[in-house]
Structure 1
Amino acid sequence: MTSVETSFPPSKREARRQDRRDTILTVAQAYFLDHGYAGTSMSGIAAALGGSKGTLWNHFPSKAELFAAVLDRVATLYRARLSQILDPDAELAPTLRRACRSVVEKMTSPEAIALHRLIISESGRFPELSTIFFDLAPKNTRILLADFLDSAMSRGQLRRADTLEAARVIIAIAMSGTHHRLLMGELARTSPSQIDADANLAVDIFLRAYAPVATP
């Protein structure tokens, strides 16, 4: 007899707990961006939530863990979207362009720019911020893209190289235009045409740099 795994919906208690956790993360994300990491306290977030500090601590034992959970939720949602774009059976160049366009669009959003500035400005006093940010966002995005590039290399569409390094290269080129200008305050906002231009440039340079080696 074959056993069949059955997934049951969460209990009302668990559903309420998850809803409460999502509410905390939503409020905490806005609070971190408005006040910075140093200016954020668990008491301040509890007050913004309208509940007790004890309730907040039941979900998150520290400010660092709360910050990590905020980043993890944002990064997880984005990786799910990017993984749908990176179809290993799709045509290489158009897929890379869609992926780069998605990355640039995400990273040039007002929320992402504000978060990046927060990390840059406060990581000197709080070195753990850089580690948390890199491990949950750029690192995992590179791994996802590296897996796609590995498939392309295996099919001979790209020359064989370190896939993580290749993922870093294409993302770095894509981020070197509009994203950098927004981060430095040179631009106030971006446009779809600027995002497309950044993505196209990154893919064009990348495909030339990682073109298959011609056999004599």
Structure 2
Amino acid sequence: MTIIDDHGVRRGRKFDQVLDGARKVFLRDGFERASVDDIAREAGVSKATIYAYFPDKQLMFLEVARCECHRQTEEAEASIDGDVPVRAALTIAAERIVEFLLSEFGQRMFRIVVGEGERFPGLGREFYEYGPGLIHARLVHHLGCYVEGGALRIDDLELAADQFAQLCKATIHEKLIFGMAETITPDMADRIVHGAVDMFMARYAVGG
């Protein structure tokens, strides 16, 4: 049985198998050089099976990004499920964001989107909506819950969510752009996480 989801992706028995193959090939070859033949070979399925689930390569690439960001978001939200103090929740969120930025997946996807965005107009915008935009939306939701609970005072949730994400990129983003990821030590990542939380709390915590 094949099901078509809200993103126009058809899902069936071999969907996860196809997606895993696509993930490996995109990370290895980038977007333009990744071929349907290579993806079918990596996934151990026919090209007909690939096209049965994904009408085009761009949708397949975006689904890889969406699924990874969805997985990361679900794991983070599972850690803050229940009555978790705001500082603890923000620390978990910051750790996840930094972990994603430093991951092979996060670095490769960023380079692919930036490097090939000119040849494929709209890829960056759609990638944001499928991936980072999902994380942004969940941040807005959770920050709103803490505002309603009286722990935070925020007038512009959209801006605050973007500010928090940018604080988590401090130092890291520039080093990744210039290929210096190896210089980001665990101690540095920890300093960035706690610095982001401290600054955000100083600005938005009630009584902070």
Same fold? TM cut 0.5: yes
Larger Rg: 1
Q: 2-side partners of 1:64 and 1:108: how far apart?
A: 24
Length-normalised TM-score, structure 1: 0.83
Which residue of the partner structure matches residue 121 of structure 1?
Answer: 115
Instruction: State the Cα deviation string for residues 139-160 of structure 1 (Å, max 9, x = none).
Output: 1111111111112222332223
One of 13, 20, 23 as aligned partner of 1:26: 20
Q: 1-side partners of 2:163 and 2:82: how far apart?
A: 19
Question: What is the SS of the residue equivalent to 2:87?
Answer: helix
**Conservation of the 8 A alpha-carbon contact between 2:70 and 2:134:** no
Could you tell me how far 1:213 is from its partner in structure 2? 7.3
**Conservation of the 8 A alpha-carbon contact between 1:27 and 1:48:** yes
**Conservation of the 8 A alpha-carbon contact between 2:152 and 2:206:** yes
Closer, same or farther: CA 88–131 of 1 in aligned 2, 3 Å: farther
- Equivalenced residue count is 199
- Give ranges in structure 1 of 5+ residues lacking alignment: 1-9, 11-16
Q: How does 1:3-152 map to 2 (within 5 A)?
A: 18-87=12-81, 89-152=83-146
**Conservation of the 8 A alpha-carbon contact between 1:88 and 1:151:** no
- Give ranges in structure 2 of 5+ residues lacking alignment: 2-10
Identity percentage of aligned residues:
27
Length-normalised TM-score, structure 2: 0.86
Closer, same or farther: CA 157–48 of 1 in aligned 2, 3 Å: closer
Q: 2-side partners of 1:88 and 1:172: how far apart?
A: 26
**Conservation of the 8 A alpha-carbon contact between 1:25 and 1:66:** yes
Instruction: State the Cα deviation string for residues 9-28 of structure 1 (Å, max 9, x = none).
Output: x9xxxxxx745211111111
**Conservation of the 8 A alpha-carbon contact between 2:36 and 2:57:** yes
Which residue of the partner structure matches residue 13 of structure 1?
Answer: none
Instruction: State the Cα deviation string for residues 7-60 of structure 1 (Å, max 9, x = none).
Output: xxx9xxxxxx74521111111111111111111222332233344322211121
